[in-house]
Structure 1
C-alpha cells in the first residue's frame, strides 16, 4: 500500500499511527522505556520505511521531516526532526546512517 501524501505533519503522524507507527523513537537514554528500542544507542537495529518532508509556508520553524521507522524486532514508530538551521545535527547524522529500502 502506497502511503498518502499530506500537506502537514499532524495528518501524516495520524496516518502513520493508524498504520502501526506508534512508538516515539525520538526518546533516548533514560527516557526510552525499552533499551533495545534506543535508536541512538543501536542505530543498526532500525530501518527507515518512509520519509515525509514539510516546508513551513510562512515560518521556517515549521520545516520538519517525519521518518517512519521499524526496529529489527518489528516495533514501528517515528522520528520527527527539523531540517535546515533548526535541525538537531546529531539526530540528522544518525538517521543518514540508517538503511532505507529501495522502492
Structure 2
C-alpha cells in the first residue's frame, strides 16, 4: 500500500498525521540534523521516513510544499514541512534522502 500523497491539503495531512501519533514539529537544521525546539537533535542514522505528501498552492501551482512523516529511533514521531521543488531546502532534501526509507513497507 502506498501511503504517500493521499491528502488534498496540507492542513488535512497534518491533522490526520497528528491523529496517528505524528505530534512533534521537527525541522532539519543547518548541520543536517533533525531538530525539535533547538534542544533535541537526531542525526540521519536515528531517523526513519514513513511517508510524505506533496501539495501545490491553490492560486499558484509553483507554490509547492511537502510534509514528511518521520520517526526517531527513540520512538518520537513527527512531521517536517518544507517547500518543494526549486524553492525547497537543499539541506532538508539531502537529509530525507539519507535516512531509512520506510514509506513503501
Give the TM-score normalised by structure 2. Answer: 0.79
Secondary structure of the structure 1 residue equivalent to 2:100: coil
Relative contact order (C-alpha < 8 Å, sep 6+): which is higher? 2
Structure 1, unmatched stretches of 5+, are: none
2:92 corresponding residue in structure 1: 91
Structure 1 residue runs of 4+, over 6 Å off? Answer: none
**Higher-helix-fraction structure:** 1
Structure 2, unmatched stretches of 5+, are: 30-34
Cα offsets for 1:46-73 (capped at 9, x unmatched): 0001111112243122x11111000000
Q: How many residues align?
A: 97
User: What CA RMSD, in Å, does the superposition of the two structures yield over aligned residues?
Assistant: 2.4
